């Protein structure tokens, strides 16, 4: 097998995977859109807290269609040795790569926005814990879900509930702060339970590394795809 044939095979396989992935995502989006009642029923039984996912049908359809288009251009361009399709594929991947680089640069440049967000989040969190937790159903549900999922207590720690409406009413701290996993006085507090801020930071640190690794991998694949498509483009008409 010549180098040119090898590059064609690599291009075909790579974009075949993209095409099949796009087909799967498109199929999911169409299913959710056309048979939303069944999807809602399944989701309600499996994970009722994720019911908002029923609204992602259009996003799945759009992403799936885009992946189908990109995969088709790459596969068909390589198979038919179409310089036009290969150049279109190269331009699309290049635009995506540039957009990702710009997005990463913007996130780094506006890191101060994250600090501002944390400041406003702190103000909201402490206010709701002091004034609304235990009395406002929606606020209580949000905090209960957060503390349950992250296994945390309060924003900083259990003292965020000291002097709160919840504590004044019951003279106890919430279940998530207690050793016995039921409302308790200060003597029953689990001192090892961290605040949700610390747990959330740890969660972001862990997931941030995964996201960074995945993004780096995607970037390398995009560069490789651009290199292969451009090489094929240049060799078409000159290969024997």
* CATH code of the domain covering residue 170: 1.10.1450.10
Q: Please report whether residue 205 resides in a domain.
A: no
Q: What are phi and psi of 136, to 5 degrees?
A: -95, 120
Q: Please report whether residue 207 resides in a domain.
A: no
The pLDDT value recorded for residue 50 is: 46
Q: Please report whether residue 133 resides in a domain.
A: yes
Q: Using CA atoms, how far apart are residues 167 and 139, in angstroms rounded to an integer? A: 16
- Tell me, yes or no, whether 102 and 146 share the same domain: no
The domain in which residue 62 lies consists of 3-109+215-235
Q: Using CA atoms, how far apart are residues 113 and 145, in angstroms rounded to an integer? A: 26
- Tell me, yes or no, whether 12 and 76 share the same domain: yes
Q: Please report whether residue 47 resides in a domain.
A: yes
The pLDDT value recorded for residue 82 is: 83
- Tell me, yes or no, whether 7 and 104 share the same domain: yes
- Burial category of 118 from C-beta neighbours within 10 Å (exposed 0-12, middle 13-18, buried 19 and up): middle
The string of pLDDT tens digits covering residues 30-53 is 876 776 555 555 555 444 444 455
Residues in the chain predicted with pLDDT less than 50, given as ranges, are 45-51, 239-240
The pLDDT value recorded for residue 112 is: 53
- Tell me, yes or no, whether 7 and 47 share the same domain: yes
Q: Which residue has tokens 């969190």?
A: 125
pTM of the prediction? 0.55
Residues 6+ away with beta carbon under 8 Å from 134? 140, 164, 165, 166, 169, 170
The number of distinct structural domains making up the chain is 2
């Amino acid at each position: 097998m010549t180098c040119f044939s090898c590059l064609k095979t690599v291009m075909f396989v790579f974009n075949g995977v993209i095409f099949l992935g796009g087909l799967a995502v498109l199929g999911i989006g169409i299913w959710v859109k056309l048979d939303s009642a069944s999807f809602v029923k399944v989701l309600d039984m499996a994970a009722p807290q994720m019911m908002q996912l029923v609204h992602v049908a259009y996003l799945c359809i759009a992403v799936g269609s885009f992946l189908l288009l990109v995969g088709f251009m790459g596969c068909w361009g390589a198979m038919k040795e179409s310089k036009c399709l290969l150049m279109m594929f190269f331009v699309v991947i290049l635009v995506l790569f540039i957009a990702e680089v710009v997005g990463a640069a913007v996130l780094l440049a506006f890191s101060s926005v994250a600090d501002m967000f944390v400041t406003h989040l702190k103000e909201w969190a402490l206010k709701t814990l002091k004034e609304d937790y235990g009395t406002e159903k929606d606020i209580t549900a949000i905090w209960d879900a957060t503390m349950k999922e992250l296994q945390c207590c309060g924003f900083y720690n259990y003292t965020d509930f000291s002097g709160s409406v919840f504590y004044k009413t019951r003279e106890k701290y919430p279940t998530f702060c207690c050793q016995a996993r039921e409302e308790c006085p200060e003597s029953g507090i689990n001192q090892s339970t961290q605040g949700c801020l610390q747990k959330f930071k740890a969660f972001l640190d862990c997931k941030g590394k995964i996201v960074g690794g995945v993004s780096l991998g995607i970037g390398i694949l995009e560069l490789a795809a651009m290199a292969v498509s451009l090489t094929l483009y240049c060799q078409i008409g000159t290969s024997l």
